[in-house]
Structure 1
Amino acid sequence: MRRAVALRLQAGLATAAIAAAIGVALPVIQASAATGSATGYATGNGGTTGGAGGQTVRATTGTAIHAALCSRASSSTPITIQVEGTINHGNTSKVSGASCNTADGLIELKQISNVTIIGVGNGAVFDQLGIHIREARNIIIQNVTVRNVKKSGSPISNGGDAISMESNVRNVWVDHVTLEASGGEAEGFDGLFDMKDNTQYVTLSYSILRNSGRGGLIGSSESDLSNGFITFHHNLYENIDSRTPLLRGGIAHIYNNSYVNLHESGINSRAGARAKVENNYFKDSKDVLGTFYTNERGYWQVSGNVFDNVTWSSPGSENYPAGPNPQSNTTVSIPYSYSLDGASCVPDIVRQTAGANKGLQVSNGNCSPQTPTASPTSPTPSASPTPSTSPTPSTTPPPGGTNLSIGAGSDGSSKADGTSYGNVRDGNMSTYWSPVGSTGDISIKWGSATTVSRIIIRETSGSAGTIGSWQVINGGTGAVLRSGSGAGSITFAATSLSKVTFRIASSTGTPQVAEFETYAG
């Protein structure tokens, strides 16, 4: 890497030492007695419990981790693997079995479910060895360090990613881990925390990501828009060039994180992505929020953030910084309850709690705590019922006026057996419309011109498919008013029309639209 990594790390340590020397009062922290419970989006879609209720085994080599997976009765039999020591290429080999699909040179969690990997004792270090999660669900990784994973040079592992997820991954909680490199792409490293190819319901919490060119991404390209519902909270991003994260499509909730020395860009929302960015602390960094390196714009909702010595570049082609005075350009509703620490406390809280070998400490919420409750406008595109995060029936409109769909008409391009166009305007979340297949149009129409500037698309909690890309269309003129991905609240310039169409261009299956609400403001 072209920067003096060590000097920046020394500066951070010096700050903590000075604070201790002069007796600065830092927030009180409480320690978790055990592994704790998943938070954020990992609580949706049935929840994330890892290997709870199953056998607990100890492993000191990568081969032993693979052997533990392969010794289970089935690929879904719960197991907790306690790891201690250094896991590297020399002690990690492929193990075969009916309940596993492992490989040499990385920790392979493929085509499995219900697994916890947790560092214990003197700690677990995955040295130059990545963790790969593929076609898997209900995975917990906690209290481990993954360092110096390379995609070029020697040895190589996991495409250069510390932790990566791809191909229909669901419900992963990564907590109290340290992910670090010793440079950027030129030195052979890639992302620290990558998600792609239909990865959903993931939380990264109380973790450190540092000394890398790339923090991580959600979506491998502008066409990989099937990922989302990711929570990042109480993490430290330090000495990173970009991607903290890069978000293509989908929804992310990013709160109470500390960002220090982001050199090129930070949260990069692209290709219709929507991020709720609240109560974070950004320090000594550049272009910490916006759309960068593309003209495919993304969106953000901001509140409570602190920008300390942050510089902003001038907007131009493929460069759309949110600053110097970041303003919200979308609304993101969150389907779970959570507590916010005040942004001013975040750097100290994160320094004390984030990363491996910190005793699994978490914030006690005493720094100006706020407790938002689950919002009735939250998207919950789950492939299985999620009672704890399901949207509530919307019979009372949110601030902004009356739901204009009530009493209006509706039509569409097709309807699956047992569904009706009228179900999207009856105020009842238990009824719904589905197209025939994974794409289709659903419209709200009026007998006279009606001004509309916002719609809310609510999917059922048991939807068989998740809405991907979409367009909002003026049904009278055919003009596209807005495009993006994922259900939820969608705003656009106030338009007088007699028909508004929501066109589903892609989805992961057959979507179920319970309500199509329309508002003037």
Structure 2
Amino acid sequence: MSMASAQTGSATGYATQNGGTTGGEGGQTVRASTGTQIHQALCERPSTSTPIIIEVEGTINHGNTSKVSGAGCDTADDVIELKNISNVTLVGTGGGAVFDQLGIHVRGSSNIIIQNVTVQNVKKSGSPTSNGGDAIGMESDVRNVWVDHVTLRASGGESDGYDGLFDLKNNTQYVTLSHSILRDSGRGGLVGSSESDRSNGYVTYHHNLFENIDSRAPLLRGGVGHMYNNHYLEIQKSGINSRAGASAKVENNYFEDSKDVLGTFYTNERGSWEVGGNVFDNVTWSSEGDKNYPAGPDPRSNTSVSIPYSYELDDAGCVPDVLAQIAGAGKGNRVSDGDCEAQTPDPTDPTDPDPTDPDPTDPDPTDPPGGTNLSIGAGADGSSKASGTSYGNVIDGDMSSYWSPSGSTGRVSVKWGSDATVSAINIREASGAEGNIGSYRVVNHDTGAVLATGSGAGTITFAPTSLRKINFEITGSNGTPRIAEFETYAGS
């Protein structure tokens, strides 16, 4: 995939406030392929505030990153130092920019944009070390930073030498992290270094993937955070940790296969949250106790957070698929248009079938089941979808439209706003794709219970089960699966 050749788009979220964030807009554009060249570009400016756009290509590491002196900079060896400066854009270009075991440190600076770069495996202990173990760290009176389309990753937790991927402390404000990937780390990031460091905040996190993170996604102390349209996957211990008087607005996020994704954890100094539009997909919650105050299992708002900027919300059900296309470095800086709508049932629709209607027809169990197809008017989601296909295509009664997973296996689900009793499903493959579905599982999504297993499409029956969401999981295939209709029936 071709990379963006320069900064694209405009700042979003809290980075648009306090005068806005434009980075090096209007300044000279300089190319750099080493850390030393990045420092040289900063240092050769007439002043510390002269706007500059630094386009970075290649691998930046300890071997090519040295301190440089000059009027426009304050740098150090073995770390990219954006220190006591302003009006700078650092953007990956060409074949990509990877900061390997080397962190980006923003200190005492303002109006900074970091876009389309990967920062990986930055250590605070072991060898080599950089930036206190943070991939991107900000501290000391930092203002207006937009970090966009970056990929931040570690290879373990603190015991392996890593710290946070995205840390803000000591009076850092008006920051946005957007369209990015944070993964494989013990710590996502914090806002405020201790319970007394409450001078940070006004941070927006939107359209980011947090994957395989133990905790701090983020840890928010004292400030205001706005988290929308993020995908949280495999959060192992705790996710959004609002504490020490912080308030978080948490809306239209997709939380999946995770634990304790929102609450106040590891302290009795509580924070608060406003929630709405989120999807909790296989999220487990601990019990409330000393220093442990999970928002679930039924998260409710306990504050109201006013947001000063405008923004468009994608439906939470869309978020995993949207982010798979746009989040992280090397994705062409693509963004969501904010109008993705998940398929949801309309409870006021008079055409919705009555699941209590008996239907005495057709006792042959190998034929499609009799009765009303409960999928019409229901909702649908899934694990992934191939380009040009939609989850909603399996509940539209149209055999010419279909859903395919993005690979050879995947899940598609039918869901209702209230309990439905289902005892049979009929999986109908699209024309030309007959026989492509191999092994499958039918799962009660609410409980995780496996209702049926087997292979091939067609009618599948099981004991009548009351549920709100039923999963058809393709675990093996003989070609690209194409499901035209996922019909559900109450049985007679």
TM-score by length of 2: 0.68
1:275 aligns with 2:263: no
- Residue 367 of structure 1: how far off its partner (Å): 1.1
SS of the counterpart of 1:41? helix
Whichever of the two has the greater Rg, that structure is: 2
Matches within 5 A, 1:410-421: none
User: 1:40: Cα distance to partner?
Assistant: 0.3
* TM-aligned CA distance change 1:362 to 1:175, over 3 Å: same
TM-superposed deviation, 1:368:
3.1
1:362 alignment partner, SS class? coil
Contact 2:257 2:282 survives alignment (8 Å): yes
Larger relative contact order (Cα-Cα within 8 Å, sequence gap ≥ 6): 1
2:316 — aligned with what?
343
Corresponding position of 1:361? 334
Q: Is the 8 A contact 1:262 1:284 kept in 2?
A: yes
Q: Secondary structure at the match of 2:335?
A: strand
1:169 paired residue number: 142
Query: SS where residue 230 of structure 1 aligns?
Result: strand
Residue 165 of structure 2 corresponds to 192
Q: Find out whether 1:254 has 2:215 as its counterpart.
A: no
Aligned residue pair count: 339
Q: Check the 8 A contact 1:176/1:360 in 2, yes or no.
A: yes
| Corresponding residue for residue 462 of structure 2 | none
Task: Find the counterpart in structure 2 of residue 238 from structure 1.
Answer: 211
Query: How do residues 420-499 of structure 1 correspond to structure 2 at under 5 angstroms?
Result: none
For each residue in 1:220-240, what CA deviation from the matched residue of structure 2 results, as whole angstroms up to 9, or x when unmatched? 000000000000000000000
Pairing of 1:80-99 with structure 2 (within 5 A): 80-99=53-72
> Does residue 1:121 correspond to 2:90, yes or no?
no
Deviations 1:195-251 (Å, cap 9, x if unpaired)?
A: 000000000000000000000000000000000000000000000000000000010
CA distance in 2: counterparts of 1:37 and 1:232, whole angstroms:
15
Alignment-mate amino acid for residue 127 of structure 1: D
Amino acid at match of 1:45: N
Q: Distance in 2 between matches of 1:299 and 1:202?
A: 20
User: Which residue is 2:18 aligned to?
Assistant: 45
CA distance in 2, matches of 1:367, 1:65: 38
Residue 75 of structure 1 is matched in structure 2 by 48
* 1:29-70 residue CA offsets vs partner (Å, 9 max, x unmatched): xx9995110000000000000000000000000000000000
- Looking at structure 1, the residues matched to 156 and 231 of structure 2 have their Cα atoms a distance apart, in angstroms, of 20
Q: Residues of 2 paired with 1:107 and 1:78: CA distance? A: 17
- Counterpart in 2 of 1:107? 80
Question: What residue number does 2:152 align with?
Answer: 179
Matching of residue 332 in structure 1 with residue 305 in structure 2: yes
Deviations 1:415-442 (A, max 9, x none): xxxxxxxxxxxxxxxxxxxxxxxxxxxx
1:365 to partner: Cα distance: 2.1
- Structure 2: distance between partners of 1:167 and 1:365: 34
* Deviation readout 1:47-95 (Å, 9 max, x if unpaired): 0000000000000000000000000010000000000000000000000
Cα distance change of structure 1 residues 32 and 131 upon mapping to structure 2, 3 Å threshold:
closer
CA contact (8 A) 2:175 2:203 kept: yes
Q: What letter matches 1:233 in structure 2?
A: H
Structure 2 residue 175 is matched with structure 1 residue 226? no
Paired with 2:67 and 2:185, the residues of 1 have a C-alpha distance of 28
Counterpart-to-counterpart distance in 2, 1:59 and 1:213 = 31
The correspondence of residues 128-147 of structure 1 with structure 2, limited to 5 A, is 128-147=101-120
Using the alignment, how far apart are the partners of 2:334 and 2:181 within structure 1? 13
1:351 deviation in Å? 1.1
**In 2, distance between residues paired with 1:203 and 1:93?**
29
Contact 2:138 2:167 in 1 (8 A): yes
Residue by residue over 1:462-495, the C-alpha shift from the partner in whole angstroms, topping out at 9 and shown as x without a partner, is: xxxxxxxxxxxxxxxxxxxxxxxxxxxxxxxxxx
Amino acid at match of 2:259: K
- Structure 2 match to 1:62: 35
> Any gaps of 5 or more consecutive residues in structure 2?
343-492
Residue ranges of structure 1 left out of the alignment (5+ in a row): 1-30, 370-521
Match status 1:213 vs 2:193: no
CA distance in 2, matches of 1:270, 1:366: 32
The amino acid of 1:54's aligned partner reads G
Distance 2:27 2:6 in 1: 19
8 Å contact kept, 2:5–2:93: no
**Aligned to 1:361, what secondary structure does the other structure show?**
coil
Establish whether residue 288 from structure 1 lines up as the match of residue 261 from structure 2: yes
Letter in 1 for 2:92: G
After TM superposition, give the deviation of residue 366 of structure 1 in Å. Answer: 2.6
Aligned equivalents of 2:313 and 2:132: distance in 1? 35
Secondary structure of 2:155's partner? strand
Which runs of structure 1 show a deviation greater than 6 angstroms over 4 or more consecutive aligned residues?
none
For residue 177 of structure 2, give the secondary structure of its aligned residue in structure 1: strand
Call closer, same or farther: CA 1:32–1:254 in 2, change over 3 Å: farther
Q: Deviations over 1:85-111 (max 9, x none)?
A: 000000000000121100001000000
Residue 77 of structure 1 aligns to a residue whose secondary structure is coil
- Which whole-Å CA distance do the structure 1 matches of 2:36 and 2:6 have between them? 29
CA offsets 1:344-393 (integer angstroms, 9 cap, x no match): 00001111100000000011223139xxxxxxxxxxxxxxxxxxxxxxxx
Tell me if structure 2 keeps the 8 A contact 1:204–1:233. yes
RMSD: 1.2
The answer as to whether partners of 1:32 and 1:361 remain within 8 angstroms in 2 is no
Matching residue's letter, 2:195? E
- Measured at CA, do residues 188 and 33 of structure 1 come closer, stay the same or move farther in structure 2, by a change above 3 Å? closer
**Residue 320 of structure 2 aligns to which amino acid in structure 1?**
P
Contact 2:6 2:91 survives alignment (8 Å): no
In the alignment, the residues of structure 1 paired with residue 208 and residue 7 of structure 2 have an alpha-carbon distance, to the nearest angstrom, of 20
Asked if structure 2 preserves the Cα contact closer than 8 Å seen for 1:159 and 1:190, the reply is yes
Alignment partners' CA distance in 1, 2:217 and 2:321: 19
Partner of 1:348: helix, strand, or coil? helix
Larger mean Cα displacement after TM superposition, 31-40 or 277-286: 31-40
One of 281, 303, 314 as aligned partner of 2:287: 314
Q: Quote the Cα distance in structure 1 between the aligned partners of 2:68 and 2:294.
A: 48
2:111 maps to a residue whose letter is N
Equivalent-residue separation in structure 1 for 2:81 and 2:139 (angstroms): 12
Amino acid at match of 1:194: D
